[in-house]
């Protein structure tokens, strides 16, 4: 089903992989490895909805991968599975390994030690993801305090201030409440918050959909810089192939719960092989193509 | 020919702060205008003023040559069906408790139509936007984002408007659905000769739907001209910058 899976030759049967959890192979293991992931959600009439149908993905340290697809295709569900935040009643099968360690069998305590610390997430709606009653600086400092990464509140605030400066917010904006910031500033604050505990894997779920065209580009460029700077892995979720293709290393195209194509971003962008990827690309309204440009009324499989 | 829509020296202030300054343009019947700008440029304020949803601080908005803020309320009510609006967020622009047919028919209550005629018109506009007439019996949550935007367009079409003001009609939608909605709006424009004012930061949408483009920055018009020219050979440094950022 998938074409291009880097350096996964040595990782075969699940049994072998369970052993990898130990130190030996951890250095070679990809940061995130998803194998044959299936998720079934409780359906309305009793029969479960097979929402993810055998996803295979991997992300190395310092690598960015964009998961592209329409709403309802399973992008966010994939992210939630990696975060251990699937809705109640979801049935999961397959494997998700983080730094060689199996995630699906973790207990809640182990999850809490990982989530927000080694794996962090930037959500789509910055206004709902930020606490309206707390200043931005305190919210960015919170993960540092919760995970006890620095000895005291002053040190945590100093680091939070430095992170906010890194994403382009000044001292005044750091001390503001979320409603006092613009959409782009809020999204930057949210990125700073996700970075606070120095995660190894950052998951960004449509981090730019709520933003203006120019801000979208700025936020994606910032994420790309941060990935390079910190050797993090980035899982970027988006419906916009053209916007993301030139800003990540690899692309995976998701359609009705399955990856139809994945590979090097430039290669896949220039020579999409799967009919769905081609349609996704052709359907995009283009600047410079004139008023009569074909707008393929392509009907997706997502209802 | 009297312009369908004309704006003269239009300015708006909120709490003493200027958000729109001295905007002028005229739109002939059937002609479409794109209003381009980033968040905070004054795009949505302009849209509300065009719809006479608020009164300007200074200047005039003329529908068919008549100042909407100077005409008697009764006259304005009579003209309202000719000017309709489509909002950015199809989720919040339909009442979640109403079957969608009721929402689509609501603007028709302002017209002297009987129940049967209203229902007939509702079925017509649902078909015109690519939905089944039976869709009328369902609730908004039973539709996808793109279908909800089709419903919002059907509602706007119901009164046979001559002008539709669309505030970011596609920016909340997936790329594929964007293409479908743009194709629908372009088709309606050609088939029905409806004028559009498209307020958006989405430049391909402006290129596809508009004859002319007005670029707003910080409440001021920095550039105004044929859309193809503004988007291909922008004169103002701000427009050039905006286009370069998206390349």
Rounded Cα distance, B29 and B221, in Å = 22
Rounded average pLDDT over A98-109: 93
**Chain A residues with CB inside 8 Å of B147's CB?**
none
- The tens digit of pLDDT for each residue in A10-26 reads 444 444 444 444 444 44
Q: What's the number of CA atoms in the CB half-sphere (13 Å) around residue A235?
A: 30
Q: Would you say residue A28 has pLDDT above 70?
A: no
The answer to whether B62 and B68 have CB atoms below 8 angstroms apart is yes
Q: What is the share, in percent, of chain A residues with pLDDT greater than 70? A: 88
The answer to whether B203 and B246 have CB atoms below 8 angstroms apart is yes
Q: How many A/B residue pairs have CB atoms within 8 Å?
A: 88
Contact A183/B at CB under 8 A: yes
Rounded average pLDDT over A45-62: 92
Q: Minimal Cα distance from B200: which residue of A?
A: A212
**Cross-strand pairs, B200:** B36
**Chain B residues with CB inside 8 Å of A241's CB?**
175
Burial environment of residue B97 by CB neighbours within 10 A (0 to 12, 13 to 18, 19 or more) = exposed
Rounded Cα distance, A202 and A225, in Å = 13
Q: How confident is the model at residue A303 (pLDDT cuts 50, 70, 90)?
A: very low
Select from A124, A246, A297 the residue whose CB has the most chain B CBs within 10 Å, as the one to mutate to test that interface.
A297
Q: How confident is the model at residue A27 (pLDDT cuts 50, 70, 90)?
A: low
Q: What are phi and psi of B171, to 5 degrees?
A: -75, -15
Whether A213 sits inside 8 A of B202 (CB atoms) is yes
Rounded Cα distance, A67 and A253, in Å = 6
Select from B179, B217, B244 the residue whose CB has the most chain A CBs within 10 Å, as the one to mutate to test that interface.
B179
**Chain B residues with CB inside 8 Å of A217's CB?**
245-246
Rounded Cα distance, A264 and A295, in Å = 27
Q: Would you say residue A1 has pLDDT above 60?
A: no
| DSSP tag of B223 | E
In tens digits, what is the pLDDT along chain B, a chain of 247 residues? 899 999 999 999 998 899 999 999 999 999 999 999 887 889 989 999 999 999 999 999 999 999 999 999 899 888 889 999 998 776 678 898 999 999 999 999 988 899 999 999 999 999 999 899 999 999 998 888 888 999 999 999 999 999 999 998 988 788 888 888 899 999 989 999 999 999 998 899 999 999 999 999 999 999 999 999 999 999 999 999 988 876 6
Q: What is the share, in percent, of chain A residues with pLDDT greater than 90? A: 55
Q: Strands A233-238 and A49-59: what pairing?
A: unpaired
pLDDT of the residue at A300: 42
Q: Would you say residue A3 has pLDDT above 50?
A: no
Contact B204/A at CB under 8 A: yes
Min Cα–Cα distance to chain B from A96, Å: 28
Nearest to A230 by CA among A264, A191, A188: A191
Contact A280/B at CB under 8 A: yes
Contact A288/B at CB under 8 A: yes
Nearest to A63 by CA among A227, A198, A199, A225: A227
Closest in A71, A241, A285 to B205, CB measured: A285
Select from A285, A286, A293, A299 the residue whose CB has the most chain B CBs within 10 Å, as the one to mutate to test that interface.
A285
Contact A44/B at CB under 8 A: no
pLDDT of the residue at A116: 87
Least confident of A206-210, A259-263, B210-214: A206-210
Tokens matching residue B163:
């002008």
**Chain A residues with CB inside 8 Å of B228's CB?**
290-291
Tokens matching residue B100:
């969608």
- The tens digit of pLDDT for each residue in A130-157 reads 999 999 999 999 999 988 889 899 999 9
């Amino acid at each position: 089903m998938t074409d291009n899976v880097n350096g996964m030759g040595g990782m075969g049967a699940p049994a072998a992989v369970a052993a990898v959890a130990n130190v030996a192979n951890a250095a070679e293991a990809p940061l995130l490895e998803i194998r044959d992931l299936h998720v079934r959600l409780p359906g309305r009439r009793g029969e479960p909805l097979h929402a993810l149908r055998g996803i295979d993905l991997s992300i190395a340290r310092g690598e960015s991968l964009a998961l592209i697809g329409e709403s309802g295709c399973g992008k966010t569900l994939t992210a939630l599975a990696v975060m251990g935040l699937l809705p109640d009643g979801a049935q999961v099968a397959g494997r998700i390994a983080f730094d060689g360690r199996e995630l699906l069998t973790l207990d809640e305590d182990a999850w809490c030690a990982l989530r927000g610390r080694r794996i962090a997430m930037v959500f789509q709606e910055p206004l709902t993801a930020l606490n309206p009653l707390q200043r931005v600086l305190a919210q960015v400092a919170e993960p540092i305090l919760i995970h006890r990464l620095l000895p005291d509140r002053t040190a945590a605030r100093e680091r939070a201030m430095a992170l906010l400066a890194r994403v382009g917010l000044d001292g005044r904006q750091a001390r503001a409440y979320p409603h006092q910031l613009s959409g782009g500033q809020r999204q930057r604050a949210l990125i700073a918050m996700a970075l606070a505990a120095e995660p190894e894997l950052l998951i960004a779920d449509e981090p730019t959909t709520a933003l203006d065209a120019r801000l979208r580009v700025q936020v994606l460029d910032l994420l790309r810089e941060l990935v390079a700077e910190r050797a993090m892995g980035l899982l970027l979720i988006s419906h916009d192939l053209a916007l993301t293709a030139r800003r990540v290393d690899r692309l995976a195209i998701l359609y009705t719960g399955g990856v139809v194509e994945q590979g090097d971003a430039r290669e896949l962008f220039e020579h999409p092989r799967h009919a769905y990827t081609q349609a996704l690309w052709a359907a995009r309204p283009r600047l410079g193509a004139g008023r009569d440009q074909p707008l393929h009324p392509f009907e997706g499989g997502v209802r | 020919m009297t312009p369908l829509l004309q704006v003269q020296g239009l300015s708006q202030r909120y709490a003493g702060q200027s958000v729109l300054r001295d905007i002028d343009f005229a739109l002939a019947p059937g002609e479409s205008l794109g209003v381009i700008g980033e968040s905070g440029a004054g795009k949505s304020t302009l849209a509300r003023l065009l719809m006479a949803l608020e009164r300007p601080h200074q200047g005039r908005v003329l529908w068919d040559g008549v100042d909407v803020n100077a005409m008697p309320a009764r006259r304005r009510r009579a003209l309202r069906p000719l000017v309709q609006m489509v909002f950015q967020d199809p989720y919040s622009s339909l009442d979640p408790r109403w079957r969608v047919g009721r929402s689509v028919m609501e603007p028709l209550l302002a017209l002297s139509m009987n129940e049967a005629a209203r229902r007939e018109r509702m079925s017509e506009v649902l078909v015109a936007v690519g939905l089944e007439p039976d869709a009328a019996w369902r609730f908004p949550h039973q539709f996808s984002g793109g279908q909800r935007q089709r419903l919002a367009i059907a509602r706007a079409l119901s009164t046979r408007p001559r002008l539709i003001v669309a505030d970011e009609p596609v920016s909340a939608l997936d790329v594929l659905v964007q293409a479908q909605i743009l194709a629908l709006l372009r088709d309606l424009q050609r088939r029905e000769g409806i004028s559009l004012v498209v307020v958006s930061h989405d430049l391909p949408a402006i290129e596809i739907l508009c004859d002319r483009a007005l670029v707003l920055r910080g409440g001021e018009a920095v550039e105004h001209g044929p859309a193809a020219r503004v988007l291909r050979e922008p004169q103002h440094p701000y427009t050039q910058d905006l286009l370069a950022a998206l390349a």
